[in-house]
């Protein structure tokens, strides 16, 4: 799939920025936070400076298997650049579906979401949260283009969330509540967890098999439920290990194949993570249900 061609160009950043017509304000917001995180990650991660384009696209220009509103990174061929970080220019049906999902599953906590992400008219606007998700997708750019050889998809997601959490705590602490409330409500919802385990996927092995395609692909809202849990895990790891835990995760897998394909299981990774990265992270992987 091609992405980015024909969009407007915004200069002044350490990477290319392109955006849909009418989306300049959102493009600047995404590019500003991405530029700060780009410098921060480069300092932490071996001086890596991935060659990327940040794209802020409206629904008309959105080209992806992901629903509009769910940010992504990819390095497919035939795009404006090998590595692209793609953000939505505004809310769409997917954000609305997320809010409805949490309203049904956690009605008592929904008032907390409304207080944290108000739309000014009594409803929910997740834009501030997704502005921060730009950093998560930038983490994937460093992972993929920086030769971080994580042996599973789900460990890449944990890495990106830990990178996001570390940046917000260290560089934008006033945004920590914006980052944490959504995932806290989502991860603590026993009704939502019960539904995912009964009707969807819940294990790390499930995610590895069903998120990236194949038979019975995962529902995007099921994937978001994993993200709620990973964000809470990232917070726990950072509380225990600080930036050092993130750097050790990078160093453990940077330009190195630590496990052969036949050895890659949640159990084998848990043992390696506990020994070389973070006791908290390794134990969480071992105990994941």
Task: Provide the pairing of β-strand 72-74 with 83-88.
Answer: antiparallel
- Position 222 pLDDT exceeds 80: yes
Rounded-to-integer distance, Cα 218 and Cα 201, Å: 7
Q: What is the mean pLDDT of residues 68-84?
A: 91
Contact 26, 56 (CB under 8 A): yes
Q: How many CB atoms lie within 10 A of CB 106?
A: 18
Rounded-to-integer distance, Cα 261 and Cα 263, Å: 5
Q: Which domain holds residue 51?
A: 1-89
- On whether residue 219 sits in a domain, the answer given is no
What pTM was computed for the model? Answer: 0.95
- Position 1 pLDDT exceeds 60: no
- On whether residue 274 sits in a domain, the answer given is no
- On whether residue 36 sits in a domain, the answer given is yes
- On whether residue 120 sits in a domain, the answer given is no
159 pLDDT tier (thresholds 50, 70, 90): very high
92 pLDDT tier (thresholds 50, 70, 90): confident
- On whether residue 72 sits in a domain, the answer given is yes
- On whether residue 100 sits in a domain, the answer given is no
Least confident of 18-27, 60-69, 141-150, 248-257: 60-69
- On whether residue 43 sits in a domain, the answer given is yes
Rounded to the nearest 5 percent, the helix, strand and coil shares of the chain are 60, 10, 30
- On whether residue 178 sits in a domain, the answer given is no
Q: How many CB atoms lie within 10 A of CB 37?
A: 25
Predicted pLDDT of residue 214:
64
**The total number of structural domains that make up the chain:** 1
Predicted pLDDT of residue 65:
83
Predicted pLDDT of residue 213:
62
């Amino acid at each position: 799939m091609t992405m980015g061609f024909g969009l407007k160009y915004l200069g002044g950043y350490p990477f290319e920025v392109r955006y849909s017509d009418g989306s300049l304000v959102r493009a600047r917001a995404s590019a500003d936070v991405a530029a700060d995180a780009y410098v921060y990650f480069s300092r932490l991660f071996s001086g890596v400076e991935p060659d990327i384009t940040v794209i802020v696209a409206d629904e008309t220009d959105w080209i992806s298997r992901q629903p509009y509103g769910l940010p992504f990174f990819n390095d497919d061929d035939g795009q404006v650049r090998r590595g692209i970080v793609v953000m939505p220019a505004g809310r769409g049906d997917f954000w609305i579906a997320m809010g409805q999902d949490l309203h049904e599953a956690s009605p008592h906590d929904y008032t907390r979401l409304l207080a944290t992400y108000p739309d000014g008219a009594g409803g929910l606007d997740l834009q501030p949260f997704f502005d921060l998700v730009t950093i998560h997708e930038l983490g994937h750019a460093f992972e993929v283009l920086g030769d971080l050889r994580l042996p599973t998809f789900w460990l890449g997601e944990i890495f990106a969330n830990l990178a996001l959490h570390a940046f917000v705590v260290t560089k934008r602490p006033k945004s920590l509540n914006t980052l944490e409330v959504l995932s806290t409500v989502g991860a603590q919802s026993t009704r939502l967890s019960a539904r995912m385990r009964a009707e969807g996927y819940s294990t790390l092995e499930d995610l590895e098999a069903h998120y990236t395609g194949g038979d019975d692909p995962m529902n995007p809202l099921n994937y978001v439920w994993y993200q709620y849990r990973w964000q809470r895990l990232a917070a726990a790891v950072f509380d225990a290990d600080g930036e050092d835990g993130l750097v050790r995760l990078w160093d453990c897998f940077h330009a190195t194949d630590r496990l052969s394909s036949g050895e890659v299981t949640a159990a084998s990774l848990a043992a390696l993570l506990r020994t070389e990265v973070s006791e908290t992270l390794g134990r969480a992987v071992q105990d994941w249900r």
